[in-house]
A and B are shown apart, each in its own frame.
Chain A
């Protein structure tokens, strides 16, 4: 299959770390706004603290291939997509039914602009996700984006 370059619109899925950072900042901003409204100087003092609910963390459940998965995530973040793909294939050989690995594979395919494959990997991840709502949600988000992107313009 021939690879083609894809422009990523701003509203696309971003790397998890960036994703959660933005969310954290947004929540923080909101909280500060609210606190600012009824501010007493003492309360406004700590910018970060238990007042801010921790963002919902996406914690992949990993097994013996955890190291490969971490490396694959890193490769994905820095755009080394072919490498990420090979690492995930290796991880999936060790843990063939880990839905998180399948989902990350879908992310790699999305970044490669292979939307049809993204959809398929999302479906696969979903079929193995069982009762893991966070993964299921992320999976559905990506699936929707891929479906949108896969439609002819």
Chain B
């Protein structure tokens, strides 16, 4: 009796324990199941936003050399072959280049891959045809280069494939090597484990893994790298759960996208699609059997079998995979022999633009900041189409660096820095941007963040205000010493660069030669408020103090802000916010934000026409005549030099028919660099623009303009054809032949200057 009672108790206890165990196990499974579903259904991976350069438009007549196009293709990750084959390949033959573009989804829709044949003649595209028949094409664009992404410093990167996009050969090979029974097991394969165990015991070491693909996926997605029995059990349970909820194809696709296949500095290469790009520069569907074998072989150990670092081991492993492919009938005997005979080749790391342009990416980030959170940029896989012109960017970086090095050499110091911005003259698109002489060092972006006195770069705003008020290019200005009382800080006595007075000079000469005294007289007459209004209308949004020293550029701006102001002049008086992004698409290519073209007229075409003419004279007879002895002479550049007090800053801003480029040089600690605008920044500008294909500046003449010759000595207008300087005038404002200069209605040039200044000196605060 006692024994049976005792037995009953034991049975009861066991039952209770068992029930608790079942409940606990059930709960655990349920919880795991929920967790798995949540993770698997939701966003499986955080995808960094991808940033693209502008697509290159090709058309007959385009000024582009074969070498330039090839550089562009290399940057975009195209591969060179003997004969172009498959999307993203090209072949050169004499002056002909044949290529196959890659599919690309634009906000306006998909543009499918196409074959193009381009012939070159004398630095331009002679013919552009498509397909075997050689059908002429009037215009075609290359899919844009991927230039970067937004991600944490250490990050995973991948290109997501769908099941349909995975080549059959890859699937068959992967299953043959990693999980033969994938399509029949339920997440775990006891037979496989037994087989692996047997093989391992026989070999006396681990030669086979028993994990199914599902287990490997679970391990990669949900678990840490710990190798304990408990984790192994967890992995098995989760694999079964995953199989229960999801189909084989879905699991296989996830595996293909998840698997870790190598390291590229801080970037972990995940998934076969990215690995194919990273190692072979090919799309997955274009890989040969031997290349697929390399990638599948790497699953076992991405760094041990890295084709670049360990080519011998990689080759050995690849051949094991190839043999397996042959034995399983995936490869024919002939195909096997051919593949196995191939060396590990075509895996060299090639120059590409990926994350090569940190300064430009920073501008992108800044422009996106209003609309997207940092988190969105790192995780949502946004596609950002930008305006960057990679060719131009390389020229900017190279020439800024080289010219600074040469200047440092000459000056005998080391820490000269610089910044450059190039924009499209009419549309305000940022084509290139350098934030310092070392393009790869992130950090202080001088183009955006350095705020420096702009010196004489402010003068066009002063002269614009004057022209608006009725001054003409021929108006006489007094370039004489001036002393202004500034309340609280005594007298201000500006001087000319050459410490001389030039007497009475025509307005255009004063701007061309950057005469300070004439400009101060002019600016005081026009009124500081009008000058401030002109600066604001040009596009500078921040507050400006109304000190007279403003007239000589005692206002701090970033090179980017200067570009914005000069853009309005270059674009004929139309303000356009400088843009570096054209559109943003979601990961699935849905257009999200478009940054469209918008213009706003801020100045009449007539006054801008006059100002532009005077700025062309800066180059033809003023402070930037250095350009006359350059190949750029024919571009009729309009520009302005700028130098700040004690030669701390050297500036040049100038535009051609197509481009506006602003260059700044200086030191981060704000000490003197002993370079004027023309001795420093202009040199950089010249070197860069020399390498850029740009058309000459030919401003469209507005209706109300008439030309007249003008005598610089007497200030008299002459008839057309007589000797003198030909100048444009707004109709009705031409100087009279009688040598009495036309003064603006409220002109005060004849009045005693000191008297005028005394009456208004109360403003200077």
CB < 8 Å: which of B59, B108, B599, B701 contacts A124?
B599
Q: Chain B: interface secondary structure? A: loop
Q: A87–B106 Cα gap in the complex (Å)?
A: 12
Residues of A within 8 A of B658 (CB): 96
Residues of B within 8 A of A87 (CB): 108
Residues of A within 8 A of B429 (CB): 93
B601 x A123 contact (CB < 8 A): yes
Partner-binding segment picked from B419-427, B442-450, B677-685: B419-427
Shortest Cβ distance from B174 into chain A, in angstroms? Answer: 41
Q: Does B249 contact A (CB under 8 A)?
A: no
Q: Mark B644-684, 1 if CB is under 8 A from A, else 0.
A: 00000000000001100000000000000000000000000
CB < 8 Å: which of A85, A94, A124 contacts B596?
A85
CB < 8 Å: which of A82, A120, A127 contacts B700?
A127
Residues of B within 8 A of A105 (CB): 597
Q: Does B62 contact A (CB under 8 A)?
A: yes
Q: A129–B572 Cα gap in the complex (Å)?
A: 12
| Count of chain B residues near A, Cβ 8 A | 32
Given contacts A96-B426, A127-B572, A127-B573, contact A120 B597 (CB under 8 A): no
CB < 8 Å: which of A96, A121, A127 contacts B427?
A96
B62 x A128 contact (CB < 8 A): no
> Can you list 24 residue pairs at the A/B interface with Cβ under 8 Å?
A64-B60, A64-B138, A65-B139, A66-B138, A67-B138, A68-B139, A86-B107, A86-B594, A90-B57, A92-B597, A93-B54, A93-B424, A94-B57, A94-B59, A97-B426, A97-B700, A121-B599, A123-B574, A124-B574, A127-B572, A127-B574, A127-B601, A127-B700, A130-B701
Q: A126–B605 Cα gap in the complex (Å)?
A: 10
A120 x B600 contact (CB < 8 A): yes
Residues of A within 8 A of B341 (CB): none
Given contacts A64-B62, A93-B57, contact A130 B427 (CB under 8 A): no
Q: A64–B598 Cα gap in the complex (Å)?
A: 23
Q: A93–B139 Cα gap in the complex (Å)?
A: 13
Q: A66–B60 Cα gap in the complex (Å)?
A: 12
Q: Which residue of B lies closest to A99 (CB)?
A: B700
Residues of A within 8 A of B702 (CB): 127
B57 x A89 contact (CB < 8 A): no
Q: Does B61 contact A (CB under 8 A)?
A: yes
**A92-113: which have CB < 8 Å to B?**
92-94, 96-97, 105
Q: Mark B153-173, 1 if CB is under 8 A from A, else 0.
A: 000000000000000000000
A117 x B598 contact (CB < 8 A): yes
Residues of B within 8 A of A67 (CB): 138-139
Q: Mark B164-190, 1 if CB is under 8 A from A, else 0.
A: 000000000000000000000000000
Shortest Cβ distance from B370 into chain A, in angstroms? Answer: 15
Q: A130–B609 Cα gap in the complex (Å)?
A: 13
**B689-741: which have CB < 8 Å to A?**
700-702
A120 x B108 contact (CB < 8 A): no
Q: A120–B582 Cα gap in the complex (Å)?
A: 20
B61 x A64 contact (CB < 8 A): yes
Q: A146–B429 Cα gap in the complex (Å)?
A: 27
Q: A17–B385 Cα gap in the complex (Å)?
A: 34
Q: Which residue of B lies closest to A89 (CB)?
A: B597
Q: Mark B346-381, 1 if CB is under 8 A from A, else 0.
A: 000000000000000000000000000000000000
B139 x A130 contact (CB < 8 A): no
B427 x A93 contact (CB < 8 A): yes
Residues of A within 8 A of B107 (CB): 86
Residues of B within 8 A of A86 (CB): 107-108, 594
Q: A64–B107 Cα gap in the complex (Å)?
A: 22
**A105-153: which have CB < 8 Å to B?**
105, 117, 120-121, 123-124, 127-130
Residues of B within 8 A of A128 (CB): 572, 700
B599 x A89 contact (CB < 8 A): no
Residues of B within 8 A of A130 (CB): 700-701
Residues of A within 8 A of B426 (CB): 92, 96-97
Q: Which residue of A lies closest to B601 (CB)?
A: A123
Q: A117–B138 Cα gap in the complex (Å)?
A: 31
Residues of B within 8 A of A120 (CB): 574, 598-601
Residue of A64, A66, A83, A92 contacting most chain B CB atoms (<10 Å) = A64
Residues of B within 8 A of A65 (CB): 59, 139
Q: A2–B441 Cα gap in the complex (Å)?
A: 41
Shortest Cβ distance from A152 into chain B, in angstroms? Answer: 20
Residues of A within 8 A of B598 (CB): 117, 120
Q: Which residue of B lies closest to A114 (CB)?
A: B598
